[in-house]
Amino acid sequence: MGTAFGEGTLDSYLRSRTAELLLHGMDLGTDVDPLPEVLVASGAFLVERAVRSGRCLEVLRALSGHGTLSPSFNVY
């Protein structure tokens, strides 16, 4: 399917929207209480973005306590 950022699959588009809704809900300070499945799917999507951007090792080090991410780090 076509998006403003190029072509992609419907699955990828829906996963990105789910992650965005979760993250923006957290940004708004709402009492977001997502299902574990949503957290897993959103986390997996963001790690996949890190892999594609060449930053996965940084993320894995930070998640495992073997490193930290800079305050400006992002996978977008």
Tens-place pLDDT, residues 5-30: 667 788 888 888 888 888 888 888 77
Number of separate domains in the chain: 1
Please compute the mean of the pLDDT values over residues 35-59 and round it to a whole number.
91
Percent of the chain with pLDDT over 90: 39
Q: Is residue 33 part of a domain?
A: yes
Are the C-beta atoms of 49 and 20 separated by less than 8 Å? Answer: no
For residue 76, being part of any structural domain is answered with: no
pTM: 0.73
Is 74 domain-assigned?
no
Whether 36 maps to a domain, the answer reads yes
Domain, as residue range, for 58:
2-63
In a domain, 31, yes or no: yes
Please report whether residue 69 resides in a domain.
no
* Contacts (Cβ under 8 Å, ≥6 apart) of 36: none
| Distance (Å, whole) CA 76 – CA 72 | 11
Rg from Cα positions in the chain: 14
